[in-house]
Amino acid sequence: MNPLQRISRRDLLRFTMAAGVGLAVPTIAFGRQCDKSPGQGEGPFYMNTWDRNKPVPHHNDLTWVNDPSKKAEGEVIYVAGQATDLDCKPLKGVMVEIWQACRSGRYGHMADPNPAWLDPNFRYFGEFITDENGMYSFKTIKPGPYPVSSSWTRPAHVHFKVSAGLRAEMLTTQMYFAGDPHLGSDRLVNMVSKPEQKQLIIEPTRRPGASAEDLYTFNIHLVSFRA
């Protein structure tokens, strides 16, 4: 794990996060170099909904849709981090989009052939624009794995699409959960090097003062086009 990831995790844990509330600002030692985040494929289930008459809801809290009292099923988690360039300098105003399956392993996309149940109280998509310190946060649930074929089950993962406009490259990638039993045999995970896998497979930490709700710190490092 590179130094920025350790610093961000330590500082993020200093206060309790809530959906829609910013994160603590990590102390960054400029002059460091951050390893470029590895890219992964977008997959077939980006930006859609099973109901053609229902717009895709965007928010950084994916655990409810129309009524906050009706919660999505599954383990609530937080996914948060910082977007930087390769000099570890924060990137403000970066659009961070995520999408994922619900607890059953099914996506909210009409093309998903998975017969598993859909969760009507889960958003499936979220977005957040990074603050002046490059920070973003999401409240979501831990997605379920799902079968691709009789011999391949995808591990639980969250898709990311990160865009900084003309200031940096666009990145599409996936975040995985440490300890998932399907990681070792996953074809997409094994397409990237071991050092890159360490950037994509994240160990949880517990939010301070919380008896549940793990925090996954996923930092994003982009090639910057700034002069």
Would you call 103 a catalytic residue per the annotation? Answer: no
Active site residue 109: no
Catalytic residue among 103, 106, 109, 157: 157
- Point out the catalytic residue in the list 78, 103, 106, 107: 107
Catalytic residue among 103, 154, 207, 221: 154
Residue 118 to residues 41, 73, 124, Cα–Cα distance (Å): 23, 10, 10
DSSP character string of 105-174: S--S-TT----SPP-TT---EEEEE--TT-EEEEEEEPPPPEEEETTEEEPPEEEEEEE-TTSB--EEEE
* Helix (H/G/I), strand (E/B), else coil: 22: coil
- Asked about 146 being catalytic, the answer comes back as yes
At residue 219, φ and ψ (nearest 5 deg) are -85, 150
Which residue among 124, 136, 146, 216 is the active-site one?
Answer: 146
132: left (phi over 0), alpha (psi -120 to 50) or beta: alpha
- Choice among 159, 176, 207, 221 that is catalytic: 159
Catalytic positions are 107, 146, 154, 157, 159
